[in-house]
Amino acid sequence: MPVRAVRGAVQLERDESGHMDEQVARLLSAIMERNGLGADDLISIWFTATPDLHSDFPAAAARGIGIVDVPLICAQELDIEGAMPRVVRILAHIESDLPRSEIAHVYLGAAAALRKDIAQ
């Protein structure tokens, strides 16, 4: 089975643990649904958060929706002046027969402005 990568992002309205869990779970669910993925198709997931997010680890949301046996890691985005605030990004490595051109990268809400070229 080919290994692919899928990207996504969401901008949070506020830095609160419950809100982060809700929005990251929503993003992960959309990525999985739009790409026809199940938990067994996930190889690993990288989460990054902008430096203004402190309330929780984005990976906790994945555990909360049942992604429990997939390696997850969190990191902080670079602190770039003028960058969009309160953003969680995802880079997931997956097993999929979809060609690269058919992978659905998911940017929710205002985060769609980050990658208009690939956001679906």
For residues 70 and 26, what is the distance between their CA atoms, to the nearest angstrom?
Answer: 18
Looking at the domain assignment, is residue 37 inside a domain? yes
pLDDT, tens digit, 9 for 90 and up, residues 4-21: 999 999 999 999 999 999
Can you give the pTM of this predicted structure? 0.93
pLDDT, tens digit, 9 for 90 and up, residues 64-95: 999 999 999 999 999 999 999 999 999 999 99
Looking at the domain assignment, is residue 120 inside a domain? no
Looking at the domain assignment, is residue 82 inside a domain? yes
Total count of domains within the chain:
1
CATH number at residue 35: 3.30.1330.40
- 8 contacts 93 by C-beta, under 8 angstroms: no
What mean pLDDT is reported for the chain?
A: 95
* The pLDDT of residue 115: 79
Percent share of the chain, pLDDT over 70? 97
